Structure 1
């Protein structure tokens, strides 16, 4: 690719390359495996709930009372039987869920790595099965730790900020706006760090982290925009109980696919150069910081206008 390509030409080249590398097929596959991986996680949560109910008879009795008072008698009896079965079989459900979660987690990260590798134009080389599984599991652990640390710090910072505002009596007005803006910026920064790490470490042939900082900044802003659109969609769907269930399912599928598709396009964008690399790491960080700041400002405006 030639240097100094016009931005719109780079966009066109990215879309063309994305189609040539079967990006939509990979996005659909990753979306499917992502939803499939949620099933054993739900089973784990059900097993944990069973252990909690088994250890707290008062809570179990209160749950039975709520079910009896909220549902028709014939339905309430069936739901109560299911709850009692979950409590009685909580150990078996948990063991089965953990086994299925281990397999589905490995399958998910393996397909994600293959998708990112293909979007970067790297060739898939044969690899020993055991070594490949170990590498995939380590990558999955790395993604989990990166997401936990980044989003945990963002959530903790937001909670600390709210506590400080309450402590000083500055609960509203301009201070609250600053807190919301700061929380949005921290959320975008968390997305930026996670995306940069994933783009650098998930391919079969890892990339230098520095080369992913700029595209990860733009990816974080786009991801935030999709999240805001998804939140607005679920808010509108929630107003109609008749379509809430199916509308939520369709929304999860649609926005999950859009998020995966966007991130894979960013991976392609990395390989379509239109400018020479920045001279220093600080320049890349400042560039990404400016992008994140602009994205946080736009998101704050959207939240203010929509009242969310």
Structure 2
């Protein structure tokens, strides 16, 4: 009787063991798939080559570059109002005064417009300094993700490095300006085209995808240029084209998300001061991480399609600062999930605070 009652338990244990073995086999088969293995190698290289640290440095210099960019924008506006259309200077100063700021702020803005020459010179010098830090870190980061020899440093001389960084910055600025301009033009022409062609009203939401597609195309061209100028050795065209396309699609989605995030922050008076700045910094950091992730994808890819080959990077030397290679993808994904959770909690907190403020105002 004992033997007969033990058989079901033994059968259950055998069945459970078989299921576990089958599950492990399925997971191993999934991890051996070329696309999944390539993604795993990408995350591993991104972590080993200090991707997050480089992204933080790039974000810092990008935020630092906002000051000379704003100064140069005021200088260009002052040049336009004084040289090209001097008749609009009075209207511009009146518009600044009508903004409702303090007298000191209004006087400072008016001085920026009238002294556009000095402001422009200071902006150019400041931009050259920040450009060296931005392009230098971006170049080192991209080359480190692409190379099989670990973290790379720019070994060019001072003058060639400054010239190359400046040219690269100008190309990136032109590409970014083209992307923004095409997005604005395509957005403004959307309703005009629908009305001109006398299309039904339901076509207008369909045309909302046009600016996103145009932006993704310009981002693809921009990333293609970046991965042509920055690497020390040429990347295979097929790999560069595919990686730039994936990065461009993700960047276009990030831009739309940043726009929504800024609108959500701007809707709360308590978050209107720092909310847009936080959203911009977060978006810049995510953009830097995406660029480096694409570079890591290219560095672990071969000439063939990612679904047919898996390039394996050489095993790195043991470094206690880096830790086990198999732990880095998990840490990277965990950091992204944590950041997303913090963003969500922040938005929920701001919305609750705004609701309480509105309720208190209504009771008063």
Structure with higher helix content: 1
Whether 1:130 aligns to 2:166 is no
CA distance in 2, matches of 1:60, 1:155: 23
Alignment-derived partner of residue 30 in structure 1: 58
Q: Structure 2 vs 1, CA of residues 152 and 210 (structure 1 numbering), >3 Å: closer, same or farther?
A: farther
2:133 aligned with 1:107, yes or no? yes
Does structure 1 residue 277 correspond to structure 2 residue 309?
Answer: no
1:189 to 190, 197, 217: 217
- Following superposition, the deviation at residue 35 of structure 1 comes to 1.2
In structure 2, the partner of 1:180 is 208
- Give TM-score, length-normalised by structure 1: 0.76
The answer to whether the 8 Å contact 1:113/1:204 transfers is no
Kept in 1, the 8 Å contact 2:179–2:218? The answer is yes
Distance 1:144 1:61, change over 3 A: closer
1:98 aligns with 2:127: no
Matched with 1:59 is 91
Instruction: Measure the CA separation in 2 of the matches of 1:195 and 1:134.
Output: 20
Displacement of 1:26 in angstroms is 0.5
The equivalent of 2:146 in structure 1 is 120
Deviations along 1:140-168, one digit per CA (max 9) or x if unpaired, are 23323434445545554555554333223
Give the direction of change, closer, same or farther, for the CA distance of 1:267–1:65 in structure 2 (3 Å limit): closer
- The 5 A counterparts of 1:1-308 are 5-51=33-79, 55=86, 56-60=88-92, 62-63=94-95, 65-67=97-99, 70=100, 75=102, 77-121=103-147, 123-124=152-153, 126-149=155-178, 152-153=181-182, 155-156=184-185, 159-160=188-189, 162-170=191-199, 172-173=201-202, 175-273=203-301, 277-278=304-305
Offset, 1:181 = 2.5
Cα distance in 1 between the residues matched to 2:237 and 2:44: 25
Q: 1:201 to 1:165 in 2, by over 3 A?
A: same
Q: Which has the larger radius of gyration?
A: 2
Secondary structure of 1:170's counterpart equals coil
For residue 233 of structure 2, give the secondary structure of its aligned residue in structure 1.
coil
Structure 2 CA distance for partners of 1:246 and 1:10, relative to 1, 3 Å: same
Q: Measure how far apart 1:88 and its partner are.
A: 4.4
Whether the 8 Å CA contact 2:93–2:110 is kept in 1: the answer is: no
Structure 2: where are the runs of 5+ without partners?
1-31, 307-364
User: Shift of residue 59 of structure 1?
Assistant: 1.1
- Residue 156 of structure 2 aligns to a residue in which SS? coil
Give the whole-Å Cα distance in 2 for the aligned partners of 1:22 and 1:61: 48
**Segment of structure 1 superposing worse, 51-60 or 179-188:** 51-60
Structure 1 CA distance, aligned partners of 2:194 and 2:285?
38
Q: Which residue of 2 aligns with 1:294?
A: none
Give the distance between the partners of 1:64 and 1:159, measured in 2 at CA: 26
* Cα pair 1:192 1:217 within 8 Å, conserved: yes
Deviations 1:171-218 (A, max 9, x none): 622x32332223322222222222122123221323243321111222
Q: Distance between the aligned counterparts of 2:247 and 2:255, measured in 1?
A: 12
Cα contact 1:21–1:118 (8 A) shared by 2: yes
Task: Give the number of equivalent residue pairs.
Answer: 269
CA 1:211–1:224: 2 relative to 1, 3 Å: same
Contact 1:10 1:272 (C-alpha < 8 Å) held by counterparts: yes
